[in-house]
Structure 1
Amino acid sequence: MRLTVEDVRVGYEDKTIVHDLSMCIPDGKITTIIGSNGCGKSTLLKAMTRVIAPQAGQIMLDGKAIAQINTKELARQLAFLPQNPDSSGGLLVEELVSYGRFPYQKGFGNLSKKDKEIIQWALNVTQTEEFRDQSLDSLSGGQRQRVWIALSLVQDTDIIFLDEPTTYLDMAHQLEVLELLQKLNKEEGKTIIMVLHDLNQAARFSDFVIALSNGRLIQAGIPEEVITPEVLEEVFHIDAVIGKDPRTEKPMCITYNLLKGEKNHEKINIPNAYTTHPPLGSVFQQ
């Protein structure tokens, strides 16, 4: 495990958001953090990327606390795409993407041949090369998100953090972004750590899932161990029916009810109906 969280407590002023959390992030895999709004997902991501400092505990990268790693050196190892990236200020796509090479430059030096090759590679792999001379503001939401991912790739890090990379995107663009991240993981060996709200997307695209509730770790493991009625009840306070995605065999939340008072323990046995005959227009259609 290259990246570990050891007894970390994170908060703002007198309010603790993440409580004494410990976990290991699998190397070379896609890890997704799930949980309700305000449970500490984004705060944990910021602590793991040194955007904010823990109140206690430490984040370790290759056995060394990230607090002790030089800023430029850390930027060569970790890339972080926040939920709402700062405005591009009218920058052209290629200009914005080139900023990812800053950790490798001395002073305000010009881009080297290697820098330009990596920028071209990132534009190609994210399929944004055709936009290189356009303003970021002129692109669609899905196109802009791919450009921001290209910026992260240009940092040439082994580990990429993304906070809700599919926010505000329609279903097709969400799938486009997640398939890109999956491709980067499988073909480029990138370790991906992201926050997602959609449970079925988390199950479908993740090798490892971490479930948080009120800043505490509830369950961590492969999707089959985390996307379960019991875990979802504790994390989201819902009564969920879990089946299997007929295309991926990953767990899938078919339906759910809010829990009010005593839970109705009646089990609804309907997954086979969905896995055998998916309804037209369902989420199985692409």
Structure 2
Amino acid sequence: MSDASVLTQRDGPVLTVTLNQPDRRNPISDPAMVDALCAVFDQADRDISVHVAILTGAGSAFSSGGDLNAMRPDAGGLRAGMPAQTRRNYRAGIQRLPLLFQAIELPVIAAVNGPAIGAGMDLSLMCDVRIAGQSARFAESFVKLGLVSGDGGAWLLPRIVGFSKAAQLSLTGETIDAAEALRIGLVSDVVPDEDLMATARQQADAIAANPPHATRMTKRLLRAAQTAELSHILEMAGAMQALAHATADHDEAINAFFDRRPPTFKGD
């Protein structure tokens, strides 16, 4: 699928999704971008033959976040004349993204190829794994515009880097480089820019090599564990394990182990 806002490329079980407004540094606040991202990831989540997705940006930026031009009072963007309408605009617009990324079972890798600023940083936080090129920069910069994160950053960031560091980044709005992002656990790897997509693909292939039902249920369990009590997670894990034991891929894994051969998983 391709449109003016988002490009997709399917290679076997791996789907690459590219934010495609490089001249504007890939803002994600536009309704067209939100609609395109929601449509792509919802469709991919429904297709069990897609095992993993990579999300990146075209051009020199991952995403600049919100479009400042659209924040002017008369621009007709998220900001409306009535505060109540602005609230509704957020709920019907950009806030659909964190809810979708939290709900889907498809694993998503963010390949952060440049600045990820404001809502762009939050978009990377919505993904399950973040790999950064050396030129990547991150900023939870809303406070510098007299705003708060309207798309879930206050929920996402503390769960990734801890409350104190999340508070520091959010209250100062400072920009950090890829090395600092790695040090605080915001990203899992930093690689040379020219190796970013190859590294993301290697990670995607490692995920895609596993049975897709198991990887999707593992992601769902990890996401649920962010808010649920241990007893609830154990109940959920037991139910998922019952489903996993009934898959042909599980039987194939066991048989391949005893046969001393590589398994062949078919998503059954």
Larger RCO of the pair (alpha carbons < 8 Å, separation 6+): 1
Q: Which has the higher helix share?
A: 2
State the TM-score, normalizing by the size of structure 1: 0.27
Q: Which has the higher strand share?
A: 1
State the TM-score, normalizing by the size of structure 2: 0.28
